[in-house]
Amino acid sequence: MDNQRILSALCYFSILFAPFLLPLIVYFISPTVEVKYHAKRSLLSHLIPVALGIVGFIVLMIGSVAMFSTTVDGTMNPSTSFNFFTAGLPFLFMIVYGILSLIVLIWNIIQGIKVLQ
């Protein structure tokens, strides 16, 4: 089996043990164009859950701040109204994040197997 194909497949499989690190190192170290191509694709696919996690953190923080309302005297009172934005959106986002992370994991494994064949 060709070493370039094994290295390319390891970039995809690295989502299980070293996401970002292995594809990034391989991208800058490898002299071949094919390995760099697969390293870049796998790195971008590893970044999808991270970017979504950052967006989720922002949504969670906005939802947490929205749960409290400031009164005229400046004290913080918990909101008594139950609305979708403060309670439902973070849970919906966690479900979407989990599904997307699973899809990215499966996609990386399939791509790694395709490169090996």
Torsion angle defined by CA atoms of residues 52, 58, 63 and 66, in that order, rounded to the nearest 10 degrees? -160
Report the domain count for the chain: 1
3-class secondary structure, 17: coil
Q: How far is the C-alpha of 84 from the C-alpha of 62, rounded, in Å?
A: 13
pTM for the model: 0.77
**Residue 41: is it exposed, middle or buried by C-beta count within 10 angstroms (0-12/13-18/19+)?**
middle
Residue-wise pLDDT tens for the chain (117 aa)?
688 999 999 999 999 998 889 999 999 999 999 999 999 999 999 998 889 889 888 877 777 776 665 555 556 555 555 566 666 777 888 898 999 999 999 999 999 999 998
